[in-house]
Amino acid sequence: MIADEDAVDLRSVGELLLDADLTSRAALWENGPDLAKARVRTYGEVVEAAADLWAAIPDPANDQSMSRIASLADGLHRTHQRTSWPGAGDADPHLASVATSLARAAELVQGRRHPTAALTAPAQLDAEAARTRLMHVLYVSAHSVGVALRPYITDLQRRTDARHSIPRGDSLARARDTRERVGAIERLAGVALKDRWPAVLAEEHREKAWPDRLGQALARWDLQAHRTLAAPPTVSNLEVIAQNQQVIVVATAIISAACANQGSLDPAAVERVRPALADLDRSWSGLRNDLAELRGRQPRLDADLVGAGHEVRAALQQITHDHAGFARPEVMSGRVDLQLAAQQLHQSLTAAVDLAHVTRDALADPELTVGARGAHEMAQASSAARTQAAWVDVGSLHQNRDVPLPYPVRDRLIDRADRIVEAAITADSAGTALRQERPRSPEPALASGRHHQEREIPKGTSPQPGIGCER
């Protein structure tokens, strides 16, 4: 939504469409009877702006879905003018924002594209994705009108049944008629989306990875992991920290190998670091597996930690992956400055030495509790001398309550953490040479647009999520 109408809106067509999509979904959460008339009043503007944008986007197939929807909405508007329902009044803020975004997107497309210019194949796919998202906006917006009309109609029906008067300006018959007609629009949009949403969105143009995204994501993660561990530690948070550190280590190895393959890092230096990274990977993995066994009744994670983890994963995924597998080195090098990415990752390994120490401290924290069953099994399997007393009391075991760590379990976890500290120091030392290497590639650091196209996700053949996947 645009907060300041006087400000210049710098958003791209894609960003405007995404904003319209998310705002239309947000409208679904508000459904009081007081909203119905405003939403009905504003829906016509949404359809009108959508029709303008649809007409501006080139369409060789001449899809008529939008013209049918616009015709229905036009008829509904004439009825509203004739019957004076819902009448004049405020607009619905969500749908007004959607209409504004769509109108702005239409202006951008109309102003920048030559009407007779031919589209490239990727541009055609992007246009198809834009039409699909636009249709989805109409589909969800229509549903939001129905959602708002439902309590309005129920309220008026109750008054009618109780033989109470209906407030001036309200109409049960008009509301029902509108609900049917907007429902027809929703069904038409649903048919248009069939087999297209969300699969076609895979062809939507995506911006290149910005050079500093990874560096910022890693710095934010390191900071957040320290902050999270500064609070009373939980097994869930520690487990995700270990898992994310492992993802970073694996990505460091993959990107370093890709750099060596593309000639931007010395292959011998990369080969020297490889065993240290593998050892660090195993060390974090050992801790993560133990913590997974010790999960108790603590399903929640620190929300900021989750946000930082999402960002690291997304920044790395954008570079290293094609679907479920790793991308080829030449594809990765077309996406970002690989050497810079490798350096940022190796720098993060330096910071990870401290994180390993902090993790060890957290595991030694007497406030740390774990699931009783996992603790019992791990303690039983340890070589610690058995005592007469059970490691975990029967009641806690039965209900899998959270319990303090039995000492064999704590010893095992701290041993794991010590190994991580050791492996992190070794990996940091081994990576020193890589952090100091200078670019040797004669090519410019940033990816070209042509290379970027190679990572666009092709259409899949496996079953797609169908209409209403946002449910």
114, 194, 300, 450: residue in contact with other proteins (rule CB under 8 A): 300
> Using the 8-state DSSP alphabet, how is residue 462 labeled?
S
206, 220, 321, 451: residue in contact with other proteins (rule CB under 8 A): 321
Angle at 49 between CA 46 and CA 51, to 5 degrees: 105
The DSSP-derived string for 181-231 is: HHHHHHHHHHHHHTTTTTGGGGGS--PPPPTTHHHHHHHHHHHHHHHHHHS
400, 429, 441, 453: residue in contact with other proteins (rule CB under 8 A): 400
Q: Is 292 in the site for other proteins (CB under 8 A)?
A: yes
Q: Rule CB under 8 A: which of 240-259 touch other proteins?
A: 240, 243-244, 246-247, 250-251, 254
Tokens of 315: 């920044």
Q: Rule CB under 8 A: which of 448-467 touch other proteins?
A: 457, 460, 462-463, 465-466
**Chain Cα centroid distance, residue 144:** 23
| Contact mark string toward other proteins, 188..227, x via CB under 8 A | ----------x---x-------------------------
Indicate the residue among 171 and 320 with the shorter CB distance to other proteins: 320
| Contact mark string toward other proteins, 128..167, x via CB under 8 A | ---------------x---x--------------------
CA dist 52 and 153 (Å) reads: 32
Q: Is 310 in the site for other proteins (CB under 8 A)?
A: yes
Contact between residue 254 and residue 320 where contact means Cβ atoms under 8 Å apart: yes
CA dist 192 and 66 (Å) reads: 9
Q: Is 306 in the site for other proteins (CB under 8 A)?
A: yes
The distance of closest approach from Cβ of residue 55 to other proteins in the complex, given in angstroms and rounded to an integer, is: 27
Which among 330, 188, 191 has a CA at the least distance from the CA of 260? 330
Indicate the residue among 246 and 359 with the shorter CB distance to other proteins: 246
Contact between residue 40 and residue 21 where contact means Cβ atoms under 8 Å apart: no
The DSSP-derived string for 348-375 is: HHHHHHHHHHHHHHHHH-TT-EEEHHHH
Binding positions for other proteins, rule: CB under 8 A: 22, 25, 28-29, 31, 143, 147, 198, 202, 236, 240, 243-244, 246-247, 250-251, 254, 285, 288, 292, 297, 299-301, 303, 306, 309-310, 313, 316-317, 320-321, 323-326, 400, 457, 460, 462-463, 465-466, 468-471
